[in-house]
Amino acid sequence: MDARGRALWITNWDSNAVLCRTWQIPSANTSGNTENAAKKAATRPDPARISANVPRFKWIMGCARAQWQTAPPSPQYNCARRNPGYVRQMNFASDNTAPVAPAILEAIAEANRGYARGYGNDDWTKSVECRLAEIFERDVAVFLVPTGTAANALALAQVSPQWGVVFCHAESHIATDECGAVEFLGGGLKLVGLSGDGAKITPEILQRALAGYGGHSPHQMIPAALSITQASEAGTIYRTDEIATLCGIAHARSLAVHMDGARFANALVQLDASPAQMTWRSGVDVLSFGATKGGALAAEAVVFFDPSRAAFFGERRKHAGNLLSKHRFIAAQFQAYLEDDRWLVLARHANAMADRLAAKLAAVGLKPVWPVEANLVFVVLPRVLDAKLQAAGAD
């Protein structure tokens, strides 16, 4: 490690920082919006269920954003400001804060030698398309975009008419953290948030929601799609039979099924299922396949399992300003991510770190709120401990 704490981090690159801290915990109110807070509170786990012996607790996410901004800077913060290359060793924020995997950065540098055709007409893109067809064991239509928000919004806009309803979990990223991108790119489509423990939708809840639609044409919006997140925003995962059941219900009402796979690999390695089983074989129609949280710099793919559903999606992506001219750099990230099963290796490592963290927390009486099934750990800390951690430089 050098004086700035850098070398160790880089050589022992840790695929994803895994303890989620602060503002991204599902059920936390980050906006100060009381209506939002009330909605979120509906699915907030009962503190009594979490740990009877935590004397005073707070949701360390949500409340901490403002607090963090106003708290006096820690010595580490000052260090980071003086030395922009400094990386905190105790980072519990989210995998979004993790560095890029070195092999992926190297692949970007490698793609930077010389010239290549723009807008996806390059060899890297073709090779990623072929690789994804191999991985999913069928022909797929693939579109690379730089953000998960773009992937979700464009995918859902493609499968829903403007007068369509997209069912999702009330805690889903598309409903709470994408600033209306789905509704905007969907031209007016409506997200309907459903409840369910651990940010998972159950068949009963979906059926109940669907029962409220139909028979009031043309006044009522039309159920058009179901979106599920795998791994979920609470770090839980859907088993393949659960996915199949939800897809069956959705398809019976002619809904398309979208999977937000920002942490697809983390769920996949946990389930020990094939990518095909976890998606189209269980009924998923379109996937937002994330690489960024797993170690890329900015690389997400929209994958249509029936290529005929992707008609004019290229135009839709361009229309929304999400077609990269130097497209090879996004494709090169995917190539490196998928090469030699790197995506699975990184995900296994991240999940293992989450398991380790959860076990250590549980050992001191801080049982995670939800089952730790991927690379996310949500825990309620006593205020005193939270303050101590911050004072020690935890981020």
Ligand X SMILES: Cc1ncc(COP(=O)(O)O)c(C=O)c1O
Q: Please, are residues 247 and 228 in contact by the beta-carbon 8 Å criterion?
A: no
Min separation Cβ 388 and ligand X, Å: 27
Residue closer to ligand X (CB basis): 74 or 97: 97
In angstroms, the first-to-last Cα distance of the chain is 19
Residue closer to ligand X (CB basis): 54 or 142: 142
Residue nearest to ligand X (CB): 148
Instruction: Please pick, from the candidates 26, 148, 223, 382, the single residue that binds ligand X as defined by CB under 6 A.
Output: 148
Min separation Cβ 96 and ligand X, Å: 6
Instruction: Please pick, from the candidates 122, 129, 260, 285, the single residue that binds ligand X as defined by CB under 6 A.
Output: 260
Min separation Cβ 145 and ligand X, Å: 9
CA distances from 176 to 18, 29, 93, 226, 234 (A): 21, 10, 18, 16, 13
The Cα–Cα gap between 21 and 173 comes to: 16
User: 């994804």: which residue's tokens?
Assistant: 132
Parallel, antiparallel, or unpaired: how do β-strands 300-304 and 141-145 relate?
antiparallel
Annotate 148-177 with DSSP letters as a single string: HHHHHHHHHHHHS-TTEEEEEETT-HHHHS
Residue closer to ligand X (CB basis): 40 or 51: 40
Residues 6+ apart with CB under 8 A from 65: 22, 23, 30
Min separation Cβ 153 and ligand X, Å: 9
Min separation Cβ 179 and ligand X, Å: 10
Number of residues that bind ligand X (CB under 6 A): 11
- Where does this chain touch ligand X (CB under 6 A) — which range of 54-62, 126-134, 147-155, 272-280? 147-155
User: 């797993």: which residue's tokens?
Assistant: 294
CA distances from 59 to 8, 24, 36, 40, 358 (A): 32, 10, 16, 13, 17
The Cα–Cα gap between 250 and 210 comes to: 9
HSE-up (13 A, CA, CB side) for residue 36: 13
322 touching ligand X, by CB under 6 A? no
Positions in 215-244 near ligand X (CB under 6 A): 229, 233
- Where does this chain touch ligand X (CB under 6 A) — which range of 98-106, 141-149, 219-227, 275-283? 141-149
Min separation Cβ 80 and ligand X, Å: 22
173 touching ligand X, by CB under 6 A? yes
DSSP state of 5: S
198 touching ligand X, by CB under 6 A? no
Min separation Cβ 149 and ligand X, Å: 3
The Cα–Cα gap between 114 and 291 comes to: 25
- Where does this chain touch ligand X (CB under 6 A) — which range of 143-151, 217-225, 248-256, 367-375? 143-151
266 touching ligand X, by CB under 6 A? no
Min separation Cβ 391 and ligand X, Å: 27
The Cα–Cα gap between 211 and 364 comes to: 45
Instruction: Please pick, from the candidates 149, 160, 270, 375, the single residue that binds ligand X as defined by CB under 6 A.
Output: 149
Min separation Cβ 116 and ligand X, Å: 24
Min separation Cβ 191 and ligand X, Å: 13
96 touching ligand X, by CB under 6 A? yes
27 touching ligand X, by CB under 6 A? no
Residues 6+ apart with CB under 8 A from 36: 29, 176
Residue closer to ligand X (CB basis): 40 or 173: 173
- Where does this chain touch ligand X (CB under 6 A) — which range of 31-39, 148-156, 187-195, 266-274? 148-156
Which tokens is 351 given? 């999940």
Parallel, antiparallel, or unpaired: how do β-strands 222-229 and 164-169 relate?
parallel
333 touching ligand X, by CB under 6 A? no
User: 């690999």: which residue's tokens?
Assistant: 265
- Where does this chain touch ligand X (CB under 6 A) — which range of 62-70, 74-82, 124-132, 142-150? 142-150
147 touching ligand X, by CB under 6 A? yes
Which SS3 state, helix, strand or coil, does residue 287 take? Answer: strand
Nearest to 159 by CA among 141, 136, 186, 178: 186
Positions in 279-298 near ligand X (CB under 6 A): 292
Residues at the interface with ligand X (CB under 6 A)? 96, 147-149, 152, 173, 229, 233, 260, 262, 292
